[in-house]
């Protein structure tokens, strides 16, 4: 019998969830004892919608100073992180407030590492594992996209736009002090972004679920309940983007998916799909969730025989599949059901549908970078090496 | 359609889970920047088992000073809290470490409030709502009983042993900084204690589940998964007390049951069973979990028609009951299944089986105290008043 693995669980972020929650922002920053905030955001929509003005007003009301830096793009760029560090130091900010989704939060965390770095070195060092991070300015979040789970995670993923290399760094000191979550703020997202977000949320749980080395039954029951709930409400959002209930269910699931809860007691996580997508994102700038959907089916068919019990459990408990005559048949029906779900919500199930067509040479480069980022191998459902990555990328190119 | 209620979720306690986790204690206290620890514990078993010595060694290794105060009893006494405050002030401790279960943790939190109280007043004031608590020394936990969930909750329940009055106080500032959870430490508990603990854990989730004013579907799916898991592993512990897996599942479920997770998005909690049991505990000093089991069936039969949909859902999704012809029939089958479960694990389903036989006068006193503690009414499955409490206590007396 595989025993429950020892684990640490640490999710200190204070969640403030509901309508108009952003009005409590000033109080939340003041509770942290901070005096000057760098408001970090993405495109102009946060300004046009009036959200940034509301954020500034909430800070003004508590007498908290602020300066703003917008311009974060999906697969956030190292260059803007450098700009944020310079601006933050010049302005003497002591708090970074991310107003946006995963990209903005990740960029905010990177800026927070950079400003607080006692060695005043290059923040990119932490992402390429050249040296460990030791300090981080406090970060807060006003979440506008349910997807990355970065609002409660210890991760940050940054792309060096000059080299196309995308790398993640995780440290508990970067976990957000608070996350303001108003589901209404996510209603205006384009459908493709919403569906990519839902895909990402499910994948964060699946990356922890598909592992060969044991999981607590309690963790499995939470993971399966979360996946079923997100599956249902993703389709409701696709049909009815203004459903508060659906937006709320998905938004909260996004945080729980990636704050560690769905991995407690598991010895390992898989995360091969994520690492494969990271390289796609770095090279082709695709939307993260869509990239995951485009890869997942191929990955699943490549590995499921080595993790058959859990693919069967997934098929039955999450995808509501009628068991086939063999475990293999049931597992495949579960994978097919997931791909059919992706198609119904407009997500790609191949690189071609994703709109990218990497050459063999580009695939070799991505597989090579992915394996370096993984330290030589990756995966728990099945341990994958560089040549496995090459095969999966190639098989994922064509429509099924 | 009932909408998801706005909610805050804050569970900052760092969980360190697994075999030998207590060896990390010194580092965990040092991370809090603290220098002198009051080690608080219950009976002599923590000393005889060598646990207190291991705790002291872990602190010594990091050069952290310590002083110890044992003697906490179930339904922990206010008198010992006063002793702890006096000792802690005299010794200049800056951290309270609870080594035990819910009673020890609750007592530790009360001591922490008392030492940190800027007004240097009576700590009992906070429990009788005479004034709000404003400060609390940092508290850490080495958990030895899976039950109360106090290791991640913001609650503390103390009994004034001179008056027999038991009161709770909750404030986020008292949440433990860390909780060391080694399932092996719970293996030596007497069966009755273990089963009482499991009952308490399930009840913490049920108190949030049986509500009439909406719940998130995600929260429901987590709650149902947790209840199913604990139900299964409680019976395994009853048969096989040394099962690490079963102890681990129940221990982690105990924390998640009461850290807020199983109530996110619910407008209200019920907690009538708990308030009814609190008075029993105050007057007769019964084991908390056993007291809950003795009350629950009577409470459930008294209220289920007013919360029928959720009792049906509970019967089917948690107790695996075959639906009857009517919702009422299904709900009753679910209640019966729960009572049968209590009997299988040796828990009482009446006050008589619990070993207490309150007079009508004693019942009037308990109902009166319970309704005062509730501010005039209590419950969400059905709102209950003083005369309802009297009827439930009376109906709970006799065996079914």
DSSP letters, B202-235, are: HHHHHHHHS-SS---HHHHHHHHHHHHHHHHHHH
d(CA A262, CA A260): 6
Distance from CA of B220 to the nearest CA of A (A): 9
A203: Cβ–Cβ under 8 A, 6 or more apart, which residues? A273, A274, A289, A292, A296
- Picking from A10, A17, A245, the nearest residue to B6 by CB comes out as A17
Distance from CA of B221 to the nearest CA of A (A): 5
Q: Where are the domains of chain A?
A: 14-185, 189-397
Where is pLDDT greater, at B214 or A22? A22
- Residues B99-113 pLDDT 10s: 999 999 999 999 999
d(CA A319, CA A299): 18
Contact A17 B7 (CB under 8 A): yes
Residue A2 predicted with pLDDT over 60: no
Residue A273 predicted with pLDDT over 70: yes
Residue A370 predicted with pLDDT over 90: yes
Cβ atoms of A300 and A323 within 8 Å: the answer is: no
- pLDDT number for residue A166: 82
Contact A6 B17 (CB under 8 A): yes
What DSSP designation does B50 have? T
Residue A74 predicted with pLDDT over 90: no
A282-309: average pLDDT:
95
Question: Which residues of chain A lie closer than 8 angstroms to B16, CB-CB?
Answer: 8
Residue A197 predicted with pLDDT over 90: yes
Residue A4 predicted with pLDDT over 90: no
Q: Output the CATH code of domain A14-185.
A: 3.40.50.1970
Domain A189-397 of CATH type 1.20.1090.10 = yes
Cβ atoms of B25 and B142 within 8 Å: the answer is: yes
A60-83: average pLDDT:
96
Helix axis angle, A360-373 to A386-397, nearest 10°:
140
Residue A11 predicted with pLDDT over 90: yes
Question: Which residues of chain B lie closer than 8 angstroms to A259, CB-CB?
Answer: none
B85-89: average pLDDT:
98
- Picking from B1, B3, B252, the nearest residue to A264 by CB comes out as B252
Average pLDDT, chain B: 95
B125-152: average pLDDT:
97
- Residues B278-322 pLDDT 10s: 899 888 989 999 999 999 999 999 999 999 999 999 999 999 999
B166, containing H or E segment: strand B165-170
User: Which of A27, A31, A205, A221 has the most B C-beta neighbours within 10 Å, making it the best mutation to test the interface with B?
Assistant: A221
A190: Cβ–Cβ under 8 A, 6 or more apart, which residues? none
Q: Output the CATH code of domain B191-397.
A: 1.20.1090.10
- pLDDT number for residue A309: 95
Share of chain A above pLDDT 90, in %: 92
User: Which of B1, B3, B6, B16 has the most A C-beta neighbours within 10 Å, making it the best mutation to test the interface with A?
Assistant: B6
- pLDDT number for residue B237: 98
d(CA B122, CA B124): 5
ipTM of the prediction: 0.94
Residue B20 predicted with pLDDT over 80: yes
Distance from CA of A242 to the nearest CA of B (A): 13
Chain A residue with minimal CA distance to B255? A9
- Residues A162-192 pLDDT 10s: 998 888 999 999 999 999 999 999 999 999 9
Which pLDDT band holds residue B2 (cuts at 50, 70, 90)?
low
- pLDDT number for residue B373: 86
Furthest CA-CA distance within chain B: 67
- Picking from B16, B19, B253, the nearest residue to A218 by CB comes out as B253
Contact A16 B8 (CB under 8 A): yes
- Residues A215-246 pLDDT 10s: 899 999 999 999 999 999 999 999 999 999 99
Chain B residue with minimal CA distance to A214? B245
d(CA B36, CA A19): 44
């Amino acid at each position: 019998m595989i025993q429950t693995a020892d684990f640490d669980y640490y999710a200190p972020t204070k969640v403030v969830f509901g309508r108009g929650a952003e009005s409590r922002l000033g109080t939340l920053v003041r509770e942290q004892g901070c005096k000057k905030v760098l408001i970090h955001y993405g495109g102009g929509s946060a300004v046009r919608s009036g959200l940034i003005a509301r954020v500034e007003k909430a800070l003004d009301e508590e007498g908290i100073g602020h300066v703003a830096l917008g311009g974060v793009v999906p697969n956030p760029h190292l260059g803007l992180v450098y700009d944020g560090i310079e601006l933050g130091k010049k302005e003497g900010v002591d708090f970074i407030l991310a107003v946006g989704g995963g990209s903005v939060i990740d960029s905010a965390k990177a800026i927070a590492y950079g400003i607080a770095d006692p060695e005043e070195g290059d923040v990119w060092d932490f992402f390429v594992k050249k040296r460990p991070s030791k300090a981080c300015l406090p970060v807060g979040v006003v979440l506008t996209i349910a997807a990355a789970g970065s609002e409660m995670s210890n991760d940050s993923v940054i792309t060096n736009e000059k080299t196309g290399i995308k790398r993640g760094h995780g440290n508990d000191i970067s976990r957000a002090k608070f996350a303001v979550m108003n589901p209404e703020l996510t209603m205006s997202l384009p459908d493709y972004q919403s569906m990519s977000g839902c895909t990402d949320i499910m994948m964060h749980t699946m990356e922890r679920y598909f592992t060969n080395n044991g999981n607590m039954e309690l963790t499995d029951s939470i993971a399966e309940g979360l996946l079923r709930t997100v599956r249902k409400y993703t389709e409701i959002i696709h049909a009815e983007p203004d459903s508060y209930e659906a937006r709320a269910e998905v938004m909260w699931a996004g945080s729980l998916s990636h704050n560690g809860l769905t991995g407690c007691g598991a010895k390992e996580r898989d995360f091969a799909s994520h690492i494969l997508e990271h390289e796609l994102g770095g090279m082709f700038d695709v939307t993260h969730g869509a990239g995951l959907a485009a890869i997942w089916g191929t990955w699943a068919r490549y590995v499921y025989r080595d993790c058959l019990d859990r693919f069967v459990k997934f098929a039955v408990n999450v995808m509501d599949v009628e068991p086939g005559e063999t475990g293999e048949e049931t597992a495949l029906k579960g994978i097919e059901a997931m791909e059919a779900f992706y198609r119904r919500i407009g997500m790609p199930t191949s690189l071609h549908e994703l709109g990218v067509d990497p050459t063999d040479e580009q695939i070799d480069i991505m597989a090579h970078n992915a394996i370096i980022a993984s330290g030589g191998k990756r995966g728990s459902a099945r341990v994958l090496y560089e040549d496995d990555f090459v095969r999966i990328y190639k098989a994922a190119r064509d429509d099924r």
